[in-house]
Amino acid sequence: MKERIPQRIDYHRYTEQGVILDGVMSLVDSNKDLPRFNEAIIENTGDISYYLVFDADILGNRFVTGHVGARVVLQCQRCMDNYNLDLNCDISVAFVENEFQQKQAEESSYDIFWLAKKELFDPGVLIEDELLLALPQIAMHSESEIGKGCDVRVNFLDDYDRLREKNICSGKDSSKDMKQSEQQDDDNPFAILKQLKNNLE
Ligand SMILES: [Zn+2]
């Protein structure tokens, strides 16, 4: 049985003792505990792995380093098809409670995780933040896929746009024609999708 990641951590104690959290967040847990992340993707396809090492340095920085990994489904904004993406995040984050600590952590090149005094740390929040940061700004098939399936689909979508434009222009002469061409457009996406599917199979 998988042990659940703790949700309320005294980071002072963890960084003093050098605690290591090494495990996986099950699909059931991540669906429940990472709502912002799940909102941003089409689907999370499995366990989310994490390896978090708590430590402190001689300057007084208290920090956590390690990595988080997940495999997600995103929608390509080029061809609108779904694709898999592996997310691998390296973590190097210092806990700070005031501006003095923030300045020191930044000088030591840590990312910053703000906590109120005495506030307990929830590693799930950090994991979610890091995964969100690792998502591409614009989801798109990788270079290797562009030129293959992604291009085939884009060409079909382009053809569809041209077809649509032509229909609207030819319907300009009378309002009746216009209505007809709009009617056709309503039906069109389904026909195009069907054609697209046939061509890809
Ligand atoms: Zn694509």
How many angstroms does the Cα of residue 17 sit away from the middle of ligand 1? Answer: 47
pLDDT score, position 149:
75
pLDDT score, position 55:
98
Residue 4 lies in a domain: no
Residue 123 lies in a domain: yes
Mean per-residue pLDDT, 159-176:
65
Identify the domain containing residue 16 by its residue range: 11-134
pLDDT score, position 170:
58
Query: Number of folded domains in the chain?
Result: 2
How many angstroms does the Cα of residue 200 sit away from the middle of ligand 1? Answer: 13
pLDDT score, position 182:
45
How many angstroms does the Cα of residue 76 sit away from the middle of ligand 1? Answer: 5
Q: Rounded distance, CA 3 to CA 116, Å?
A: 28
121 and 73 Cβ atoms separated by less than 8 Å = no
pLDDT score, position 42:
95
Is residue 192 very low, low, confident or very high in pLDDT (cuts 50, 70, 90)? low
Residue 121's nearest CA partner among 54, 188, 186, 27 is 54
Residue 3 lies in a domain: no
How many angstroms does the Cα of residue 109 sit away from the middle of ligand 1? Answer: 36
Last residue of a domain, one of 105, 134, 163: 134
Segment 24-45, tens digit of pLDDT: 999 999 999 999 999 999 999 9
pLDDT score, position 167:
74
How many angstroms does the Cα of residue 80 sit away from the middle of ligand 1? Answer: 6
Residue 48 lies in a domain: yes
Residue 21 lies in a domain: yes
How many angstroms does the Cα of residue 150 sit away from the middle of ligand 1? Answer: 4
Torsion sign across C-alpha atoms 117, 118, 120, 121: positive
Last residue of a domain, one of 134, 167, 190: 134
Same domain, 53 and 117: yes
DSSP assignments along 66-128, one per residue: EEEEEEEEEE-TTT--EEEEEEEEEEEEEEESSHHHHHHHHHTT-EEEE--TTPPB-HHHHHH
Last residue of a domain, one of 111, 134, 157: 134
Is the per-residue pLDDT at 173 higher than 60?
A: no
